[in-house]
Amino acid sequence: MSSRTDTTTGDVVTDTPERPRRALPLSWAWSLVRLDVTGVAFGALFFCLSLTPSLLPRDWLFQGLIGGLNGSIGYGIGVFLSKMLTRFVLRGRPWRAMSRRALYACKVGIVALAIGASVLMLIPAAAWQRQVSAEMGLPGPDTLGYLRVLVVATLVGAVCVAVSRLVLDTIKTLARWLIRRWRLSDEMALLIGTAVVVVLLITLINGVLLQGFLAGASRVFQPQNTTTRAGVSQPTAPERSGSPTSFAAWDTLGYQGRNFVATGPDAGELERVNGRPAREPIRVYAGLQTAETDEQRIAVVLSELERTRAFDREVLVIVPTTGTGWVNPVAARAVELMYNGDTAMVAMQYSYLPSWISFLGDQQKSMEAGRMLIDAVQRRWAQRPPAQRPKLLLYGESLGSMAGQAAFSWLPDIADKGFSSVLWVGPPNASPLWAAITERRDPGTPEVQPRYDGGRTVRFSQGNNPAGIARDTAAPWQGTRVLFLQHSSDPIVWWTPDLLTDRPDWLSEPPGHDRTASMRWYPIVTFWQVSADMTNAASMPGGHGHNYGESVLDGWAAVAPPPGWTADDTERIRAALRASAKVNGSEY
């Protein structure tokens, strides 16, 4: 304490020192993270929306990743709106500011409400996930274990916000330098700084990170391409590529190519299943190491077709592959069983990478490879007299479907090139022909199962069960037959960047056979939900997600049935496929 004399009154005044204010614990913690309250509110809203159901079930880890990403995006939107409101609406206008105590109470209330809503929302979220899991025939998560979502989401959101702040701080630092160096206005300096940082980020992501990721992924997956699955050995039958008489050496076919040519039914198995003499099926394949260029690999394929006398068979099936060169063993085995081995199948590898990496990194490569294979084989087929040509069939699954569609400008081209039957399974949303037909579908038909031109040439089926496919393809179907199998729960089919801002028709229509009616579209949020669904789409049980199981048999029976084929024949082949699955395991 100290004393002083008031010069105006002459009285002695004792001064009491002012007590320092103690920072409240919550205020101190808040000052460390420097979170914007409006951003927190929007972040919590986006996090809660991300917990709503989508196409496929998500475990707590995946949900945490998606929740954290969406929450950070919501936080950024909230911060932006808050600054815009302050700058352009409230600035310069008479309004009564809240007291410090009231403002503090408001912030605490908003934060508490955001946390409480996020925690409570996890309870119905776990129930939604059990509902979606039940659609797939899978067990769902328990509510208590699902609370881990919040921990993962918080960590992911914190990392995203920290990276965003680093970018903003870089822009501000550059703007301050421009102001000092060139004496620019604040607005111009911020504009230039933002443009420079954005350009650098795009260059870094597209030119360095993406290319580095693709190169690294290629180095990771290339060694696997040189391995051979346990139990797979070099074929000896001359009808197979990789055999001692083949122009395509066994050790050049790649992992998936060796699986393709060394497995499948032989003539003996076909005779046992069909009860009559069978032919040895022809399987032709060229791997990335079979030749140095696509043109040289095509030449090897054509030589293999001539060597094996593939053009003398009843059907010739062209199969554009997925990223790693995979051919669906069920699709191959099914058509060989149906035609009792009087078949030839041809495929070619164009990448070491899994389909999802090929799809993100280089779609054009897959489409160009598919177009080259189809055009080359079709031209060689067309050189034979019409009476000596086999039926020309085309099969494609996932990225292989997209690659196959690249060979045709429009639907009539399929018939013009002589194809009698086409089966495309799980086509990616970016597939050119699929997208065009779906966009031009007959009025009143749903996007999830459209009808085009009354189903004269092309038809769609959700492919969930034999009865459904038979129903969708039962009407008279003359001439070339094209069938798309697409599950309503397959994110590969329904994912598109447009989900960020536009609600698709399939989310405003009644849900398909295995999509929960609880799914709703929310801007930005649904895009990331379906993106996450893509990562485990192939691991769903057969008939759901991107796993089409034995429905490809029913697809073949619909578009390319042998003469006199009946439903009983289809069930006989189905039983043979299931028996093979028990013996061969992963091949089925």
pLDDT at position 181 is 87
Distance CA 378, CA 587 (A): 29
| Tens digit of each residue's pLDDT (9 = 90 or more) over 170-183 | 999 999 999 998 88
Q: What is the pTM of this model?
A: 0.88
pLDDT at position 431 is 93
Residue 160 main-chain phi, psi, to 5 deg:
-65, -45
Least confident span in 196-210, 267-281, 352-366: 352-366
Torsion of CA 248, 253, 259, 261, to 10 degrees: -10
Q: Which are the contacts of 438, defined by CB distance < 8 A and separation ≥ 6?
A: 447, 450
Beta partners for residue 422, in sequence order: 394, 482
pLDDT at position 362 is 65
Stronger pLDDT, 97 or 14, i.e. the higher one: 97
Q: Which are the contacts of 337, defined by CB distance < 8 A and separation ≥ 6?
A: 265, 270, 273, 274, 573, 576, 577
Checking if the pLDDT of 127 tops 90, the result is yes
Distance CA 515, CA 56 (A): 8
Checking if the pLDDT of 220 tops 90, the result is no
How sure is the predictor about 117, in pLDDT bands with cuts at 50, 70 and 90?
very high
pLDDT at position 92 is 64
pLDDT at position 281 is 98
pLDDT at position 380 is 97
Please name the residue that has the structure tokens 């698709």: 504
Mean pLDDT comparison of 191-200, 209-218, 499-508, highest-scoring range: 499-508
- Please choose, from the candidates 486, 494, 375, 349, the residue with its C-alpha nearest in 3D space to the C-alpha of residue 424: 486
C-alpha dist (Å) from residue 272 to 95, 104, 235, 536: 88, 81, 21, 37
Least confident span in 91-100, 200-209, 393-402, 403-412: 91-100
Q: Which stretches within 344-487 are classed as H helix?
A: 355-361, 363-382, 399-405, 412-416, 432-439, 466-472
Distance CA 393, CA 378 (A): 10
| Tens digit of each residue's pLDDT (9 = 90 or more) over 453-463 | 999 999 999 87
C-alpha dist (Å) from residue 284 to 244, 250, 347, 377: 14, 12, 6, 12
Stronger pLDDT, 32 or 526, i.e. the higher one: 526
Q: Is 17 exposed, middle or buried (0-12, 13-18, 19+ CB in 10 A)?
A: exposed
pLDDT at position 287 is 95
- Average of per-residue pLDDT across 237-255: 96
Checking if the pLDDT of 268 tops 90, the result is yes
| Tens digit of each residue's pLDDT (9 = 90 or more) over 339-361 | 999 999 999 998 877 766 766 66
Give, to the nearest 10 degrees, the angle between helix 37-50 and helix 525-535: 50
pLDDT at position 97 is 64
* Structural tokens at position 272: 């046992």
Checking if the pLDDT of 588 tops 70, the result is no
CB count in 10 Å sphere of residue 171: 20
How sure is the predictor about 573, in pLDDT bands with cuts at 50, 70 and 90?
very high
Parallel, antiparallel or unpaired: strands 391-397 and 343-348: unpaired
Checking if the pLDDT of 21 tops 70, the result is no
Distance CA 538, CA 397 (A): 12
| Tens digit of each residue's pLDDT (9 = 90 or more) over 497-552 | 999 999 999 999 999 888 999 999 999 999 999 999 998 898 999 999 999 999 99
Distance CA 514, CA 530 (A): 15
- Average of per-residue pLDDT across 115-138: 95
- Please choose, from the candidates 229, 241, 329, 331, the residue with its C-alpha nearest in 3D space to the C-alpha of residue 286: 241
* Structural tokens at position 28: 């101190």
- Average of per-residue pLDDT across 6-27: 45
- Average of per-residue pLDDT across 491-495: 95
CB count in 10 Å sphere of residue 387: 5
Q: Which are the contacts of 201, defined by CB distance < 8 A and separation ≥ 6?
A: 167
Least confident span in 212-216, 235-239, 323-327, 467-471: 212-216
How sure is the predictor about 279, in pLDDT bands with cuts at 50, 70 and 90?
very high
pLDDT at position 6 is 44
| Tens digit of each residue's pLDDT (9 = 90 or more) over 301-325 | 999 999 999 999 999 999 999 888 9
pLDDT at position 203 is 82
pLDDT at position 33 is 63
pLDDT at position 356 is 67
| Percent of the chain whose pLDDT exceeds 70 | 90
Least confident span in 21-35, 244-258, 512-526, 534-548: 21-35
* Structural tokens at position 301: 């394929």
Longest dimension (CA), the chain: 128
DSSP state of 203: I
How sure is the predictor about 583, in pLDDT bands with cuts at 50, 70 and 90?
low
Checking if the pLDDT of 265 tops 60, the result is yes
How sure is the predictor about 22, in pLDDT bands with cuts at 50, 70 and 90?
very low
First to last CA, the chain: 90
pLDDT at position 360 is 66
DSSP state of 423: E
pLDDT at position 221 is 73
Single-letter amino acid code for the residue at 315? V
The domains of the chain are located at 26-87+98-183, 237-561
Q: Is 471 exposed, middle or buried (0-12, 13-18, 19+ CB in 10 A)?
A: exposed
DSSP 65-82: HHHHHHHHHHHHHHHHHH
Beta partners for residue 424, in sequence order: 396, 484
- Helix (H) or strand (E) segment spanning residue 315: strand 315-320
Checking if the pLDDT of 437 tops 80, the result is yes
C-alpha dist (Å) from residue 490 to 41, 168, 537, 548: 33, 38, 7, 10
Torsion of CA 291, 297, 300, 305, to 10 degrees: 150
Contact between 78 and 106 under an 8 Å Cβ cutoff? The reply is no
- Average of per-residue pLDDT across 186-212: 84
DSSP 336-366: HHHTTT-EEEEEE---SS-HHHHHHH-HHHH
pLDDT at position 215 is 74
pLDDT at position 20 is 43
Mean pLDDT of the chain: 89
